């Protein structure tokens, strides 16, 4: 536990700050509406649900202010590139922008639930205050506003009023329903099951955030919650008059109280983030209008499509990813893919595996499902056919660690293709000095054919290291978890061959899954006083295991071995 807190101290601090601000805003607003004299008469009608509704509304506004910031990719990229104000520890937090976005979304969901339930109770209490059983004071308060020069407190004017109809005929009620429906659709479609199986549903429903924010700004204009005006408080001694309500019309000490609704404040919270996000979308629009030319299309085994592209003025970094759009498939959908090329190459490339409807349609658009050769000019290749938007969200630099452990499962190898290529080119350059002393590369894959396209890169890297006498520099461990009977026989017959029968590399493939306890124990023994960066791309289950291993095998003594866990996330 201590090691985890040490490794994630900044994340823990930011989480505590966010929670602390939420609790402070909630308690401060709750206290105001629970004890302020201006709302004594409102509390007589509604009780503590008034404070619950208003406190949750403040926290809701606060989290709505934050929700757009983590998904402003250009802003995040700018902050990451600003080395003066953004150190390495903060860059790691910027890589967790989507996790923060989700955390804020949970905050919105919790506070919205409290707000909705509290106001449903409030509406019912407003309604019952019109009944004779409510008592003389509540009846008196509910009757205000029927005569000239009186302002009302109870928005429900008669007991015969249908509460459902009242909700659906007021600004606060209608916008509240719209906001609630939009929020439910956004939250339910964001579950991992929907995102993986029906990404289009997730993407389209997420665009309802526009409806949500417009409704949020208008919602407060309904002024459902009303309190006594400051001028009325000076003339109407509420402490005395609430116990002498029968004397209101006649006593000069107790003139009729005057009420007004709270002015809308949500726009003050969300206006700046909304303007910032509008600028973000303008930058994205400008970028995707720039021409991109596809120079090469390669179909690999295991349903992997490689696209090589060029764009004027574009520079990249290892581990960077881009967002792709193919209008012939969908005019609105953008999907993230990690670049597999290195900055030293004169093109940039992605490897895309068929895992859903959009990628299957992309394969078809590029003729990858056809055996016949297709001329490049017939493929989508310019800004009217194939649009891209670039994000400069880069993984924590592997070169920043004395030792690095790269762990991948399946197609998650793509971000590390770029990093290993970049290392390879730097090794070829005699003028470049690498701070990185050792790289451990773990790749776990189920299908033997999936090794095909990446094995070439490993072979060239292995050859280059041998030529330079740096065989110790890269230690790669490839694990095959799935094979059939014929493959097993072939593997057994060629087990003693010099080159591996699966990958063609000198280092042999392992069969089955790695025993992570043994692997991390060996890493800790090899580097007893080093800081080791662990970089992972793959499924959540394995991510949890690796994070646990990093925490378990990091030394309590800061001078001992420290494992720093980093997971790629879009």
**Domains of the chain: total:** 3
Distance (Å, rounded) from C-alpha 189 to C-alpha 191?
Answer: 6
Task: List, for residues 105-162, the tens digit of each pLDDT value.
Answer: 999 999 999 999 999 999 999 988 888 888 888 888 888 888 877 888 888 878 777 7
> Do 48 and 132 fall into the same domain?
yes
> What 8-state DSSP symbol labels residue 47?
T
Coil, helix or strand for 60?
A: helix
> What 8-state DSSP symbol labels residue 339?
B
Report if residue 182 sits inside a domain. Answer: no
Find the distance separating the first CA and the last CA of the chain, reported in whole Å. 27
Given 368, 390, 412, the domain boundary residue is: 390
Q: Which candidate, 115, 52, 57, places its Cα nearest to that of 269?
A: 57
Q: Could you tell me which residues come within 8 angstroms of residue 251 by beta carbon, excluding any fewer than 6 positions away?
A: 241, 244
> Do 325 and 457 fall into the same domain?
no
Average pLDDT value over all residues in the chain: 80
Report if residue 175 sits inside a domain. Answer: no
> Do 466 and 385 fall into the same domain?
no
Entry field: residues in the chain: 570
Distance (Å, rounded) from C-alpha 432 to C-alpha 473?
Answer: 15
Q: What is the pLDDT of residue 101?
A: 94
> Do 416 and 358 fall into the same domain?
no
Coil, helix or strand for 41?
A: helix
Determine which of 46-55, 432-441, 460-469, 496-505 has the lowest per-residue pLDDT on average.
496-505
Distance (Å, rounded) from C-alpha 377 to C-alpha 568?
Answer: 35
Distance (Å, rounded) from C-alpha 120 to C-alpha 166?
Answer: 12
Report if residue 223 sits inside a domain. Answer: no
Tell me the pLDDT band of 66, cut-offs 50, 70 and 90: very high
Strand ranges across the sheet with 293-300: 293-300, 304-310, 348-353
> Do 377 and 407 fall into the same domain?
no
What is the CATH classification number for the domain harbouring 386? 2.40.30.10
Report if residue 206 sits inside a domain. Answer: no
> Do 412 and 479 fall into the same domain?
yes
Q: Could you tell me which residues come within 8 angstroms of residue 83 by beta carbon, excluding any fewer than 6 positions away?
A: none
What are the backbone angles phi and psi of residue 422, rounded to the nearest 5°?
-65, -40
For residue 392, pLDDT beyond 70: no
- Residue 386: in which H helix or E strand, if any? none
Q: What is the pLDDT of residue 295?
A: 85
Task: List, for residues 198-218, the tens digit of each pLDDT value.
Answer: 877 888 899 999 999 999 999
Distance (Å, rounded) from C-alpha 227 to C-alpha 156?
Answer: 15
Task: List, for residues 164-204, the tens digit of each pLDDT value.
Answer: 777 778 888 899 999 999 999 999 999 888 887 787 788 88
Radius of gyration of the chain (CA): 31
Q: Calculate the alpha carbon distances from 522 to 66, 518, 530, 561 in Å.
A: 43, 6, 13, 12
Cα torsion angle, 311, 313, 318, 321, sign = negative
Coil, helix or strand for 51?
A: helix
Mean pLDDT, rounded, for 470-490: 72
560: burial class by Cβ within 10 Å (0-12, 13-18, 19+)? middle
Distance (Å, rounded) from C-alpha 36 to C-alpha 67?
Answer: 31
Task: Give, in degrees to the nearest 5, the angle at Cα 100 between 79 and 178.
Answer: 115
Given 390, 419, 447, the domain boundary residue is: 390
> Do 266 and 354 fall into the same domain?
no
Task: Estimate to the nearest angstrom the gap between the alpha carbon of 416 and the chain centroid.
Answer: 22
> Do 452 and 377 fall into the same domain?
no
Q: Could you tell me which residues come within 8 angstroms of residue 257 by beta carbon, excluding any fewer than 6 positions away?
A: 41, 144, 153, 228, 232, 236, 238, 241, 248
For residue 406, pLDDT beyond 70: yes
Helices (H), 393-501: 414-428, 452-467, 485-493
> Do 45 and 88 fall into the same domain?
yes
For residue 375, pLDDT beyond 60: no
Given 236, 262, 281, the domain boundary residue is: 281
Report if residue 376 sits inside a domain. Answer: yes
Domain that holds residue 326: 289-390
Task: List, for residues 546-557, the tens digit of each pLDDT value.
Answer: 888 888 888 877
Report if residue 527 sits inside a domain. Answer: yes
What are the backbone angles phi and psi of residue 442, rounded to the nearest 5°?
-115, 125
> Do 276 and 325 fall into the same domain?
no
Report if residue 207 sits inside a domain. Answer: no
Task: List, for residues 308-363, the tens digit of each pLDDT value.
Answer: 888 887 877 777 788 888 878 877 777 888 888 888 888 888 888 887 778 888 88
Report if residue 33 sits inside a domain. Answer: yes
> Do 459 and 554 fall into the same domain?
yes
What is the CATH classification number for the domain harbouring 482? 3.40.50.80
> Do 302 and 450 fall into the same domain?
no
**pLDDT higher for 94 or 486?**
94
């Amino acid at each position: 536990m201590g090691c985890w807190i040490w490794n994630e101290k900044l994340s823990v601090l930011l989480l505590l700050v966010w929670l602390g601000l939420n609790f402070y805003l909630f308690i401060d607003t709750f206290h105001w509406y629970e004890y302020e004299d201006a709302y004594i008469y409102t509390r007589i009608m509604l009780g503590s649900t008034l404070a619950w509704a208003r406190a949750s509304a403040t926290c809701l506004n606060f989290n709505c202010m934050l929700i757009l910031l983590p998904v402003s990719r250009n802003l995040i990229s700018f902050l990451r590139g600003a080395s003066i104000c953004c150190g390495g520890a903060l860059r790691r937090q910027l890589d967790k922008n989507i996790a923060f976005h989700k955390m804020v979304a949970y905050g919105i969901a919790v506070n919205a639930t409290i707000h909705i339930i509290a106001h449903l109770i409030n509406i019912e209490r407003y309604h019952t205050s019109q009944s004779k059983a409510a008592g003389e004071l509540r009846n008196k308060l509910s009757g205000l506003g029927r005569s000239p020069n009186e302002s009302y407190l109870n928005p429900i004017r008669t007991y015969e009023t249908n509460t459902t109809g009242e909700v659906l005929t007021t600004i606060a009620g209608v916008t509240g329903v719209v906001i609630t429906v939009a929020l439910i659709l956004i939250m339910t479609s964001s579950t991992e099951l929907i995102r993986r199986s029906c990404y289009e549903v997730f993407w389209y429903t997420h665009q309802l955030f526009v409806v949500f924010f417009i409704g949020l700004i208008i919602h407060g204009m309904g002024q459902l919650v009303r309190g006594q005006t400051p001028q009325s408080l000076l003339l109407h001694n509420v402490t005395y008059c609430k116990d002498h309500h029968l004397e209101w019309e006649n006593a000069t000490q107790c003139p009729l109280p005057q009420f007004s609704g709270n002015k809308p404040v949500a726009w003050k919270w969300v206006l700046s983030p909304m303007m910032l996000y509008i600028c973000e979308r303008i930058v994205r629009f400008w970028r995707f209008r720039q021409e991109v030319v596809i120079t090469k299309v390669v179909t690999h085994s295991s349903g992997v499509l490689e696209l090589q592209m060029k764009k004027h003025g574009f520079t990249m970094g290892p581990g960077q990813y881009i967002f792709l759009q193919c209008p012939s498939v969908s005019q609105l959908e953008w999907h993230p893919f990690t670049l597999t090329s290195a900055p030293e190459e004169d093109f940039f490339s992605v490897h895309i595996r068929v895992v859903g409807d959009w990628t299957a349609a992309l394969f078809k658009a590029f003729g990858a499902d056809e055996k016949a050769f297709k001329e490049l000019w017939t493929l989508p290749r310019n800004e009217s056919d194939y649009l891209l938007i670039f994000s400069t969200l880069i993984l924590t630099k592997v070169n920043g660690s004395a030792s690095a452990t790269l762990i991948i499962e399946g197609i998650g190898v793509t971000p590390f293709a770029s990093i290993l290529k970049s290392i390879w080119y730097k090794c070829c350059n005699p003028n470049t000095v690498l701070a990185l002393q050792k790289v451990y590369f773990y790749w776990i894959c189920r299908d033997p054919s999936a090794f095909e396209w990446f094995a070439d890169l490993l072979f060239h890297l292995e050859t280059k290291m041998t030529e330079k006498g740096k065989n110790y520099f890269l230690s790669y461990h490839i694990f095959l978890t799935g094979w059939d009977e014929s493959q097993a026989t072939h593997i057994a017959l060629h087990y003693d061959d010099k080159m591996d029968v699966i990958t063609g590399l000198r280092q042999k493939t392992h069969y089955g899954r790695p025993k992570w306890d043994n692997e991390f124990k060996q890493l800790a023994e090899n580097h007893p006083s080093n800081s080791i960066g662990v970089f992972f791309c793959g499924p959540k289950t394995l991510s949890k295991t690796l994070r646990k291993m990093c925490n378990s095998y990091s030394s309590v003594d800061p001078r001992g071995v420290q494992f720093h866990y980093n997971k790629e996330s879009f």
